[in-house]
Amino acid sequence: MTIDAFQTRLSDVAADTEKLLDRLLGNTPLENELSRPSRLLDAMRYVSLGGGKRFRPFLVVESAALFGVPNERALMAGAALECIHCYSLAHDDLPAMDNDDLRRGRPTAHRKFDEATAILAGDGLLTLAFDILSRTETHPSAVVRVALVGALARFSGLGGMVGGQILDLAAEGRFPGAEKPSSESDVRTLQAMKTGALIRFACVAGAILGEADSGKLAALDRYGRAVGQAFQIADDILDVEADAATLGKATGKDAAAGKATIVGVLGVAKAREKLAALVTEAGDALSSFGAKADILKAAARFVAERQT
């Protein structure tokens, strides 16, 4: 499977995800919703539509495809995950966090709207994610839906992405008197939480939707861990080497903020070696699926080689 074939598949999933999110974020209130206030809806749509690679939904769709899960179900779980991802970006850009002006080549949500609206847009997307997972459209089995809800909560919350974000802020020295995570192992843990956890969820969600046995679920989890780590290391390298116009966001911010990164700990050359090893690890994790998993193996290569 070439990177080009992978790119085509990624664009297809991105288009499907965009269409689905556009529908999920429609004007008409749903049962038990009193209204959908237009300012909040506009901000939620701004944060989640019209940009982004949709790499996480792609991972859900392709992991689920290994088990013959219908595309529409996987897209629902992918859309839920993308809501969490987009909320995290809007909150990460806030003045109290990274204080960024540019995201996906456009003004960040608090710049386009205002800080309170950007916070609420993130909150709205966070809760919408669990609403989406609870629907029978996502899976007819309540057991599967509860497993998805539980897994997304774990991977995105206290012991996952949100926990990773506070460790990241601690590593920047934001909390006077508190310990600064700075060793390679500290950095690996905070990155596995901040970035890796949602990517892991994407892969595990495919197995949950497919009601996979524990061996297959563990294989996708191992793949997701490797890809999640690779994704963050590639992001750290891009922060050092890419320019803001190509990336659609500010660069050079990690070093300026004193952020803990693998590039900071190991240097670019060693980080690149680590990246190559992780692509191999990701491929090995999927060996039991044979050629069916070629697209996921190509995805791991894409992560290592991506320029945006």
Using CB under 6 A as the criterion, which residues of the chain lie in contact with ligand GRG when the complex forms?
Answer: 52-53, 55, 88-89, 91-92, 97, 104, 161-162, 165, 194-195, 232, 235
The CB-of-223 to ligand GRG minimum distance in angstroms stands at 17
CB-wise, 117 or 165, nearer to ligand GRG? Answer: 165
The CB-of-6 to ligand GRG minimum distance in angstroms stands at 15
The CB-of-79 to ligand GRG minimum distance in angstroms stands at 13
8 Å CB contact between 2 and 304? no
CB-wise, 160 or 206, nearer to ligand GRG? Answer: 160
The CB-of-215 to ligand GRG minimum distance in angstroms stands at 29
CB-wise, 110 or 145, nearer to ligand GRG? Answer: 110
The CB-of-294 to ligand GRG minimum distance in angstroms stands at 22
**Looking at beta carbons, which residue is closest to ligand GRG?**
52
CB-wise, 192 or 212, nearer to ligand GRG? Answer: 192
CB-wise, 107 or 211, nearer to ligand GRG? Answer: 107
